[in-house]
Amino acid sequence: MSECEKDLEVLRETFKSGKTKEESWRRSQLKNLLRLLDEKEDDIFKALKQDLGKHQVEAYRDEIGTLVKSVNYALNGLKQWMSSEKAKLPIAAFPSSAELVPEPLGLVLIVSSWNFPFGVSLEPLIGAIAAGNVMVLKPSEHAPSCSSVLAKTIPTYLDTKAIKVIEGDYSVGDKLLQQKWDKIFFTGSAKVAQIVMAAAAKHLTPVTLELGGKCPAIIDSLSSSWDKKIAMKRILSGKYGSCAGQACIGIDYILVEKTFANELVELLKIGIPKMYGENPKESHSISRIINRSHFLRIKNLLDEPMVKASIIYGGSTDEDNLYIEPTVLLDPPVQAAIMTEEIFGPLLPIITVDKIEDSIEFVNARPKPLAIYAFTNDEVLKRKIISKTSSGGVVFNDTIIQYAADTLPFGGVGQSGFGRYHGKFSFDTFSHEKAIIRRSFLTDIWFRYPPWNDHTISLFRSGFRYDYLSVVLITLGLKKA
């Protein structure tokens, strides 16, 4: 840690120099990050395959491609993002002007997770660079190949005096958290987030927490066969298609009306082999579980007797290859761990309700999710979901696409996290908007100074209501104080 502290001192000195505040520095780092993503694409593919068994198409779609898009978006918007924004002042302040000037926070710690090792490491890094900070990236030790690629390539492409990668297990993370930071950005579990917040509180460090939770999919009775076909593809992709369900924004469980449940089950049974083959493990289109510990955790969810009895599709596991088959369950006990803990794996419980509107009450009885997915053409139901539930976001008739939208903030609420990023929101997360006011000596509000009397309080009462006519009349003695 003594070496780490020396690194942090170098970063602080770099920030003090003002180099990172220059647009040219920010732009050069972002362009170099683009080069890294292009020139090290094969290394990234290999690392993701080794750690998570990700097919290179999935790896490009969910990590490299989204990052290329985000860097280009930041490069295109950087000049405008860095510009000051004029703010209005009341007439009483005339002549004066005001503006909001974004400035970098300083030394930033980014702690990323293992399920999207490049995406959730570099996405916040893009915002921190664009905002002009210096930073330390702590990748997850659970994806060691990916962590190693980040540690080896970032110093080759980016400014080593402003951007550091520090590898290590949880003990290294704990020691990093004891340092003084100007911002901590954490992606991971709620349990670890509590440790992060406790450490940040010692230095009153602001934090952004990107967590997760049990994201529900509300499935209404769709009448059109085309709608059902497209919805099924999007549901299956939203559950199994991103890191085998090991995604904070993936579908955790489904809520459906009892009258539509059997048809939904049949659609899933037909759709899974169409998308992932009769033997999904051999298709290489589905990732594997990250490690044995997580494998056993998911398997234990499945092995509860009442839960096991609810399996209607799949259920096979292969510990040697850390593989769990895409599995569908119908009405497992809602008190079971599979319905009280975030699944984070390829198990899909279906919970039936008497009326689709009952799904709103079911969701509200649980911690606020990162996302709610609702498949419906009923505008009344859409309005109810928007107005009567709380979540990080709501997506109608699709899944996960909100992650790729640079114009939308990505983040949770309550136990699914707080703070937001992506696009300009990433820049804002790592910036402070400094308020600047410029005044002239030409005019002054005389009654703002003592001595006080009934006359001045009347002037204040009118002034704070922006009733300038009364201020004039009281001053001229034409209106009683």
Above 90 in pLDDT, residue 481? no
Q: What is the per-residue pLDDT for 273?
A: 95
Q: List active site positions.
A: 210, 248
Q: How confident is the model at residue 420 (pLDDT cuts 50, 70, 90)?
A: very high
Q: Is the whole model's pTM more than 0.85, yes or no? A: yes
Mean pLDDT of 352-378: 97
422-470 confidence digits (pLDDT tens) = 999 999 999 999 999 999 998 888 899 999 988 899 999 999 999 999 9
Mean pLDDT of 356-369: 97
Mean pLDDT of 312-332: 96
Q: How confident is the model at residue 133 (pLDDT cuts 50, 70, 90)?
A: very high
The three-point CA angle 105-111-114 to 5° equals: 150
Q: What is the per-residue pLDDT for 92?
A: 84
Q: How far apart are CA 229 and CA 235, in angstroms?
A: 10
203-239 confidence digits (pLDDT tens) = 999 999 999 899 999 999 998 999 999 999 999 999 9
Q: What is the per-residue pLDDT for 99?
A: 97
230-267 confidence digits (pLDDT tens) = 999 999 999 999 999 999 999 999 999 999 999 999 99
The three-point CA angle 394-397-402 to 5° equals: 45
Q: What does pLDDT average to over the chain?
A: 96
The three-point CA angle 434-436-437 to 5° equals: 155
Q: How far apart are CA 351 and CA 53, in angstroms?
A: 30
For a pLDDT cut of 90, what percent of the chain falls above it?
Answer: 92
Q: What is the per-residue pLDDT for 120?
A: 97
Q: Which is nearest to 84 in space by CA: 105, 102, 97, 96?
A: 102
Beta-ladder partners of 184? 109, 207
For a pLDDT cut of 70, what percent of the chain falls above it?
Answer: 100
Above 80 in pLDDT, residue 1? no
Mean pLDDT of 151-156: 98
List the structure tokens of 173. 């993370």
Above 90 in pLDDT, residue 418? yes
Kind of pairing, strands 134-138 and 107-111?
parallel
Q: What is the per-residue pLDDT for 80?
A: 98
Mean pLDDT of 177-192: 96
Q: What is the per-residue pLDDT for 480?
A: 83
Q: How confident is the model at residue 164 (pLDDT cuts 50, 70, 90)?
A: very high
- Buried/exposed 427-444: b ≥16 CB within 10 Å, e otherwise: bbbbbbeeeeeeeeeeee
